[in-house]
Amino acid sequence: MSNNEVSKYFDLHTSGIGYISRIREVAPKEGTPFLSVTIAALRGSVENVQYTHFECHVSGKQAQTIVRELKTPVEGKLKVLIGFTLSDLYGESFTFKNGEKAGETGISLKSRLLRVSWVKVDGQPYPIDQDHAA
């Protein structure tokens, strides 16, 4: 590819609302360290909510800033609900090591967290700076 050519990509974006947990810095043996978070996305009827869990590499600058701000309330066991935009969803298989599913294969859904559109902490609106770069 020459310097004048622009890279082209196919984007797959997913939006929704969910609870965040497990905010952590991941330092892989090879590669660059990154911020990670688990999102328990809500789906289904409000009378019978179900959850889909996503393991997210926090890649958007705005999302990184907000997730870092939310680390204290999350670690304090407060309920932190966010509106989110994910990108590049894919599944990865793993083997359960403990519990009644030990030895069985499971699927982990992975994605990149691009943007946080709003936040509530224990049901109360949490102000976020929408001026951060996405």
**What 3-state DSSP class applies to 34?**
strand
Token pair of 104 as six digits: 């069985």
Which comes out higher in pLDDT, residue 3 or 81? Answer: 81
Residue ranges of domains in the chain, CATH in brackets: 13-126 (2.40.50)
- pLDDT for 1 beyond 70: no
Which pLDDT belongs to residue 134?
41
Helix ranges restricted to H, 1-134:
61-69, 71-75
Query: Residue 11: which pLDDT band, with cuts at 50, 70 and 90?
Result: confident
What integer best gives the mean pLDDT of the chain?
Answer: 91
* pLDDT tens track for 53-94: 999 999 999 999 999 999 999 999 999 999 999 999 999 998
For residues 59-95, one letter each, b for 16 or more C-beta atoms within 10 angstroms of the residue's C-beta and e for the rest, the string is bbebbbbbbeebbebbeeeeebbbebbbbbeeeeeee
Q: Are the C-beta atoms of 52 and 68 separated by less than 8 Å? A: no
Which pLDDT belongs to residue 133?
42
Token pair of 77 as six digits: 């066991």
pTM: 0.85
